[in-house]
Amino acid sequence: AQSVTQPDIHITVSEGASLELRCNYSYGATPYLFWYVQSPGQGLQLLLKYFSGDTLVQGIKGFEAEFKRSQSSFNLRKPSVHWSDAAEYFCAVGGGGGADGLTFGKGTHLIIQP
Amino acid sequence: DAGVIQSPRHEVTEMGQEVTLRCKPISGHNSLFWYRQTMMRGLELLIYFNNNVPIDDSGMPEDRFSAKMPNASFSTLKIQPSEPRDSAVYFCASTKTGAPRRDGYTFGSGTRLTVV
């Protein structure tokens, strides 16, 4: 069965500092990996996705993620965070070309300190 | 593109009442998913459809939950009778089979259900 682990429930970062959110997955085949962001009371917005090819993928809002097959990881990074980045971040894994659903991690709550 | 549209945004109902949540996927998307989000369990996949056909409903918690997709532009999730433990945010998402590489999965804004 597929699964996603986000080991950090909460992370606090100072505005302007760099950010890395961890994600580890378990999947029996080549995974499709996603990062979503959720602001309070809102739906989930896609930040970026990985299917194949270049293991470093660029997303919206200045985010990037690196796929490391040997570590079963897909960590999200941003070189300099802004107060507006405060939100809940979810890593997800899926497959089947969209014919089946995504399995989500429990999320990481990002707090930005002024 | 109006995105995935869910209604209502908020629903408060009394225990034992029937609740119907609605979803309109993005035009052209042929896969539709229903998720439930709670603090304790996070985001759980309840059921999904491909070309209006239910494929996997193993995530539906009980027989009180049912979902339909009568056509490509509309789906419902029904809870009958509702219980306080059903209180959660319910999300609908859609994608085009074979196209998540390009489009990802698009989520609606959710329905916040409170059963009192």
SS (H, E, C) chain A: CCEEECCCCEEEEECCCCEEECCEEECCCCCEEEEEEECCCCCEEEEEEECCCCCEEECHHHCEEEEEHHHCEEEEEECCCCHHHCEEEEEEEECHHHCCCCEECCCEEEEEEC
The pLDDT, as a whole number, for residue B116 is: 97
Distance separating alpha carbons of residues B94 and B71, to the nearest angstrom: 14
The pLDDT, as a whole number, for residue A52 is: 81
Residues of chain A positioned with their CB less than 8 A from the CB of B24 = none
The pLDDT, as a whole number, for residue A51 is: 85
Residues of chain A positioned with their CB less than 8 A from the CB of B45 = 101-103
CB contact under 8 A, A97 and B108: no
pLDDT digits (tens, 9 = 90+) for B81-96: 999 999 999 999 998 8
Contact A87, A38 (CB under 8 A): yes
Nearest to A107 among B35, B42, B48 (CB): B42
First to last CA, chain A: 41
The pLDDT, as a whole number, for residue A99 is: 62
Residues of chain B with pLDDT under 70: 1, 98-103
The pLDDT, as a whole number, for residue A96 is: 56
The pLDDT, as a whole number, for residue B115 is: 98
Distance separating alpha carbons of residues A55 and A69, to the nearest angstrom: 9
CB contact under 8 A, A43 and B98: no
pLDDT digits (tens, 9 = 90+) for B91-113: 999 988 766 566 678 999 999 99
Decide if B72 touches A, using CB distance below 8 A: no
Decide if B31 touches A, using CB distance below 8 A: yes
Residues of chain A with pLDDT under 70: 95-99
